Structure 1
Amino acid sequence: MLEAKLADAVLLKRLLDSIKELVTDANFECTEEGLKLQAMDNSHVALVAVLLKEEGFMKYRCDRPIPLGVNLGSLTKVLKCAKDDDVVTLKAGEEGDILQLTYEGRNSDRIADYEMKLMDIDADQLGIPDTEYDARVTMSSAELSRIVKDLAQLGESVRIDVSKDGVRFEAEGESANGKVLLKQTEAARRRYAEDEEEVKNEGDDDDEKEEGGSKRKKVKKEKKENGVKKENEDAEMEDGEKEGEDESGEFKAESDDEGEEEKEEGSDEEQENRKKRKKAQAKATGKSKRAKKSNDDEDGDASGGVSIEMNQHVSLTFSLKYLVNFAKSAALSNKVKLMMSSEVPLLVSYDFGPGHIHYYLAPKIGDE
Structure 2
Amino acid sequence: MFEAVLSNGVVLKKIVESIKELVTEVNLEITSDGLSIQAMDSSHIALIVLILKASEFEEFQCDRPQNLGISITYLNKLLKIAGNDDSIKLKSESDSGILTLTFQGPNNEKICEFNLNLLTLDAEHLGIPEQEYSAEVKMSSLEFTKICRELTQVTDTLNISIDKEAIKFAVSGNVGAGCITMRGNVSDKVEENLFIRVNGNVNMAFSLRYLNLFNKAAMLSEEVVLFLSPEVPIVIQFVFDLGELKYFLAPKVADDN
Q: How do 1:286-305 and structure 2 match up within 5 A?
A: 297=189, 302-305=190-193
Partner of 1:91: 91
Number of residue pairs the alignment of both structures matches: 256
Q: Distance in 2 between matches of 1:342 and 1:133?
A: 9
SS for the counterpart of 2:100 is strand
SS for the counterpart of 1:330 is helix
| Structure 2 contact 67–123 (Cα < 8 Å) conserved | no
Structure 1 stretches of 5 or more lacking a match? 192-296
Correspondence 1:306 to 2:194: yes
SS for the counterpart of 2:175 is coil
Which residue identity lines up with residue 163 of structure 2 in the other structure?
S
Partner of 2:229: 341
Q: Which deviates the most, 32-41 or 93-102?
A: 93-102
Runs of 4+ displaced beyond 3 Å:
none
SS for the counterpart of 2:81 is coil
- Report the structure, 1 or 2, having the larger helix content: 1
Q: How much is the aligned-residue C-alpha RMSD, in angstroms?
A: 1.1
Over 3 Å counting, the alpha-carbon distance change for 1:181 and 1:96 in structure 2 is farther
Identity %: 40
Q: Distance in 1 between matches of 2:160 and 2:97?
A: 44
Correspondence 1:21 to 2:36: no
| Structure 1 contact 3–92 (Cα < 8 Å) conserved | yes
Correspondence 1:35 to 2:23: no
Q: Distance in 1 between matches of 2:212 and 2:87?
A: 30
Q: How do 1:1-368 and structure 2 match up within 5 A?
A: 1-185=1-185, 187-188=186-187, 297=189, 302-368=190-256
| Structure 2 contact 41–47 (Cα < 8 Å) conserved | yes
- Report the structure, 1 or 2, having the larger strand content: 2
Over 3 Å counting, the alpha-carbon distance change for 1:123 and 1:177 in structure 2 is farther
Q: Distance in 1 between matches of 2:180 and 2:28?
A: 37
1:340 positional shift: 0.4
| Structure 1 contact 86–103 (Cα < 8 Å) conserved | yes
TM-score by length of 1: 0.68
SS for the counterpart of 2:161 is strand
Q: Distance in 1 between matches of 2:181 and 2:73?
A: 36
1:305 positional shift: 3.3
Q: Distance in 1 between matches of 2:87 and 2:209?
A: 34
Q: Distance in 2 between matches of 1:50 and 1:134?
A: 23
| Structure 2 contact 164–197 (Cα < 8 Å) conserved | no
Q: Distance in 1 between matches of 2:178 and 2:255?
A: 19
Q: Distance in 2 between matches of 1:337 and 1:29?
A: 25
Over 3 Å counting, the alpha-carbon distance change for 1:116 and 1:134 in structure 2 is same
Q: Distance in 2 between matches of 1:355 and 1:318?
A: 26
Structure 2 stretches of 5 or more lacking a match? none
